[in-house]
Chain A
């Protein structure tokens, strides 16, 4: 398989995953705000922090008001974190590898792009938002299902997996980081119910609430939620699960040693840490470190299997 094709498949998966995660985050935040008292509600700003593009945001938008943030996350084609950008980028990556992608999956992705673009206005209104985001999430799940069910499970499929789980691991750590850093002070007992609501929303933005209840059987609280999201073995959005899935795909590829070394380090680090014992500050530092090592893993994957970046030599 050509390196370029492998890279396109990898990014196809990453962008599809990114579109889905972004849709989930926006959707859950909207619900969360309805449940919190006005004074303590964190508003929309944290969502921009999740994307890590806050500097860019501040350059292009006057404030962190709801319409601005929602437009930024759903329909701003200028930055790579928006749903529309991600869907368009997934489609572009898919276009050049149509031999490798089952035709129906391409058609579904094409439809999703047209929907995301044409119905954008609906998605940015309070009334239409829910339906728009639901459609995005269902379509991306549909694409993933079609790919799993119909694509050849060869090398290309491993790159699809790599892209999906790398993006998901990255996204889960971002959500934990931002959502926990903005939580209420520990001690205030009269805010206790709201704290629960906020942790529930963290779980919900990863569709983890039901899984958490079944697996943990305790009320929702910080320590248990963090343990669940970092280390759960079977929950498909838990960081450990994402890294282990990535590692398993790497195992099946040629020339895998260097990438496996990095993946093994990330996994050991995850298993050894007890992030729930950390305070906000320390937790933030830990997540930072984790994200850097996920980035390192990506670099290693790109170095081993993808074509070297295009260097445009200026004509003399």
Chain B
């Protein structure tokens, strides 16, 4: 078998690499010939080499097994890169910065004057039912007025080529370590393509992250004491926690390594005695952060941490309560939020979204469910949603009941045809749907990863890209055009 791009099935969808059968897209059409020249045997051999490299490098993610324990699985990776021209990326980057800037203003407003509600732009009813609004955070002034220091926004491209923002993750977004490791693996398996196309580097991220965190330190210092707070080795993202701590050269701590003293400062228990901590990059959800302020049964957090944060002796990234903007109903208001705070139109559009709390939107959603994707406000990882085109009548009936019982908790969006990228399946190349998660850092300045983590649904026709549900990933190349 050889690779024949004339037979590549890319009609009716937007393939990131192939514009039409036999025809490459944009300035990087040459990659089609390069892949063809390598041939299927060589491609399969390189895919295998990548898998060996991933095992050797110990790149894993953790899944919860049926027996109750956890297993480390090798990270699923496809070697064919996803390419985005620099000119297009510049616009995306500007859009992401704008979006996160507005969201940070929005969060800060919600915890202070709530002007946006008083001005009638954002409904009080939505806030009242938000599960991620933390009354404990009202009136708190985090350093620089920023709440979401690390944001992971999911982007998708529809069949007509438009890039939409699908959701914003403002709590503890993960995946960035895989973006970095994917690049290392690609450099190993495709050195010649890499040299030729010269994608822009991504490996600055750990130092950018450290700079972002260091900028938040209440005690100005060149090297403030920064720690990554992890729930522990059984967390699905533990690999990433330890990876980032290592890359930034700071301590990876668990809740029991820290304590808050009577001076309201946070200390780390070390062999040399207590050591004050300035900034905590916490990878634990709000509710587990501090048993004194939130869930009293949590043993993952640090008693008194909220007290220290409120007193301003320690910075937390992301700030507690930032998740209030990580709500799919809030998402539906982002264009208005941008307009309100920045007096500008959103550079990156939202996916058209029906807020079921509004009667016409509810009626439309119920009437068109087989063409919609229905999502609950506060779930992540692709759980608890209805994908209309793939659903049965019984599924739809069940969701109709759920939505009617609690319309505030649901939004609906037309089912998009996510763009595809050629992916090695067996010994051939087939289109598979992808999304993209860039990471936006905000402190005294804003930075966006060069590209992000491209996730790919490895099952034919599937739109679910989550690694816990059969998704894989690809390297993302931003290439000067």
Contacts and interface: CB of A to CB of B under 8 A. Distances in A.
B242 A6 contact: no
Nearest to A314: B297
A8 B242 CA distance: 16
B145 to A, nearest CB: 32
B252 interface: yes
Given A95-B233, A99-B246, A307-B257, A3 B296 contact: no
Contact of A315 (B252, B254, B296): B296
B297 A3 contact: no
Contact of B271 (A6, A99, A312, A315): A6
A91 to B, nearest CB: 12
Contact of B257 (A4, A98, A99, A313): A4
A152 interface: no
A316 B257 CA distance: 24
B69 interface: no
Nearest to B275: A2
B299 interface: yes
A149 interface: no
A159 B269 CA distance: 16
Nearest to A96: B233
Residue in A6, A96, A253 whose Cβ sees the most chain B Cβ within 10 Å: A96
A254 interface: yes
B188 interface: no
Residue in B58, B256, B268 whose Cβ sees the most chain A Cβ within 10 Å: B256
Contacts of A2: 251, 253, 257, 268-271
Nearest to B242: A99
Contacts of B242: 98-99
A3 B269 contact: yes
A99 B272 contact: no
A80 interface: no
Contact of A307 (B232, B245, B269, B299): B269
B257 to A, nearest CB: 5
A34 interface: no
DSSP majority for the B interface? mixed
A305 B245 CA distance: 22
B135 interface: no
A310 interface: yes
Nearest to A255: B273
A9 to B, nearest CB: 10
A312 B299 contact: yes
Contacts of B232: 96
Contacts of A313: 291, 296
A1 interface: yes
Nearest to B297: A315
Contacts of A248: none
Nearest to A106: B58
A313 B257 CA distance: 17
A307 B256 contact: yes
Interface string B259-271: 0000000001111
A99 B253 CA distance: 13
A254 B245 CA distance: 25
A155 interface: yes
Contacts of B269: 2-4, 307
B343 to A, nearest CB: 48
A310 B299 contact: yes
B254 A3 contact: no
B424 to A, nearest CB: 29
Nearest to A92: B233
Contacts of A307: 256-257, 269
Given A95-B233, A159-B271, A315-B297, 5 more contacts: A2-B257, A155-B271, A254-B272, A254-B273, A313-B296
Which 7 interchain pairs have the tightest Cβ spacing? A3-B269, A315-B297, A1-B271, A254-B272, A6-B271, A307-B269, A305-B271
13 contacts: A1-B271, A1-B272, A2-B270, A95-B233, A96-B233, A98-B242, A155-B271, A253-B271, A254-B273, A255-B272, A307-B256, A307-B269, A312-B299
